[in-house]
Structure 1
Amino acid sequence: MSDEVLNTIPEGQEESPSPIAWMAIVAVIVAIVAVIALLVYPQADDYTKEVLQLTGDPAKGRSIFVMNCIACHGEWADGDVGPSLRNVSERLSSRRLIHQVVSGETPPMPQFQPDPEAMADLLSYLKKL
C-alpha cells in the first residue's frame, strides 16, 4: 500500500470491553455454573431430607440390595450388568446416590422408591462397600 493510503487510515487501538460487557460476561458465567451445580448436586426434596436424617442399618440395607440390586450389580456389588458399586460413596454423595436409586436416571437401571427407612438402610450398606 502507498504511504498516502496508510496515512489516511487512523491507527487502530484495542479497546477493552466496557464495564457493562464485563458484567454481562460474568453474569453468563455465573448462570452456567449455577445450572451445572443444579445438575450435579440435585436439590434435596422432602424424601431425601428425611432419608438423610435417619441412621440406616447396613444389614437391612444388604437385604434390600439382594432383593433389588444384585441381578445387575452382582452379589458383592463388583458390577455385572451394572457398574461396580465398590467405594461408590467415595464417588457420589449421599444425595446423588438417593437420587440415582429413586430416579433410575442411568438406563437401564430401574427406578424404585423404598420408604425412607429402607432407603437409609440401603444407603448405609452402600457406604460400607
Structure 2
Amino acid sequence: MDNQLTDKDISIQRWILIGLAVLLTVILVVFGVHQFRYSDPYVKSVLSRQGDVDQGRFIFQMNCSSCHGIYGDGQVGPSLRHVSSRKSSLGLIHQVTSGETPPMPQFQPSPQEMADLLKYLESL
C-alpha cells in the first residue's frame, strides 16, 4: 500500500480545513455580537433590575395592547403568549427598542420600564 497522498486527497483536506476555518469564524462572530449586546450599558442596566409584573402590565396596556391585544393574545401584531420561551431577554429588549420589525414602532422605555415589561412578558 502506498502512503503518498494524491492530489485529490490534498484537495479534500484543503476544503475540510477551509470549511472548519469558516465555521470557526462564524462561531466567533456570533459569540462576539452576543457578548457586545450584553455589554451594552442599556441592556446591562435593564438586566440588573428587578422587574415588577404589575408595572409591566400597565406599560404593556399603554404601549403594546392596541396591536398585541389586552392580554397579549394578538390582533394586528402577533400573540405574545409564551414569548419568553421563544425569545431571550436580550432578543425581547432588541425587539422592543430597535424598531426593526415594521409596523412595530421603536419604543424607548427607561431601563426600569423595560425590566418591568420583560417581567410581564414572562408572565404571559
Coarse TM-score class (shorter-chain normalised): 0.7 to 0.9
2:25 paired residue number: 31
State how far apart, in whole Å, the 2-side matches of 1:113 and 1:62 are: 16
AA of the residue aligned to 2:72:
A
AA of the residue aligned to 1:47:
Y
State how far apart, in whole Å, the 1-side matches of 2:33 and 2:41 are: 18
- CA shift, 1:31, in A, is 2.4
Could you say if the C-alpha distance between residues 85 and 39 of structure 1 is closer, same or farther in structure 2, counting changes exceeding 3 Å?
farther
Give structure 1 stretches of 5+ with no counterpart.
1-11
**Does 2:85 correspond to 1:96?**
no
Q: CA RMSD in A?
A: 2.5
Give structure 2 stretches of 5+ with no counterpart.
1-5
**Aligned equivalent of 1:116, options 111, 114, 119:** 111
**Does 2:80 correspond to 1:85?**
yes
1:22 paired residue number: 16
Could you say if the C-alpha distance between residues 15 and 118 of structure 1 is closer, same or farther in structure 2, counting changes exceeding 3 Å?
same
AA of the residue aligned to 1:67:
M
1:48 paired residue number: 43
State how far apart, in whole Å, the 2-side matches of 1:77 and 1:127 are: 11
Could you say if the C-alpha distance between residues 121 and 49 of structure 1 is closer, same or farther in structure 2, counting changes exceeding 3 Å?
same
2:3 paired residue number: none
State how far apart, in whole Å, the 1-side matches of 2:77 and 2:49 are: 27
Structure 1's consecutive aligned runs of 4 or more residues displaced over 4 angstroms after TM superposition are 18-21, 34-42
TM-score in terms of structure 2 length: 0.82
Could you say if the C-alpha distance between residues 32 and 90 of structure 1 is closer, same or farther in structure 2, counting changes exceeding 3 Å?
same
State how far apart, in whole Å, the 2-side matches of 1:70 and 1:103 are: 18
Task: Answer with 24-33 or 116-125: which moved more.
Answer: 24-33
